[in-house]
Amino acid sequence: MMIENNRRRTYTAPVGTAWVVREPSPEPGTALLSASGEFDIESVLCLHQALADARHEGSRRTVLDISQVGFGDSSFLHELLAAHFSHQRLVLVGPVPDQLRQLFLLTGTLRLFTIEPG
In sequence order, the β-bridge partners of residue 90 are 62
Q: What integer pLDDT is reported at residue 47 of this predicted model?
A: 98
The stretches in the chain having pLDDT less than 70 are 1-6
Q: What integer pLDDT is reported at residue 38 of this predicted model?
A: 98
SS3 (DSSP) at 57: coil
Residue 54 half-sphere exposure, CB side, CA atoms within 13 Å? 38
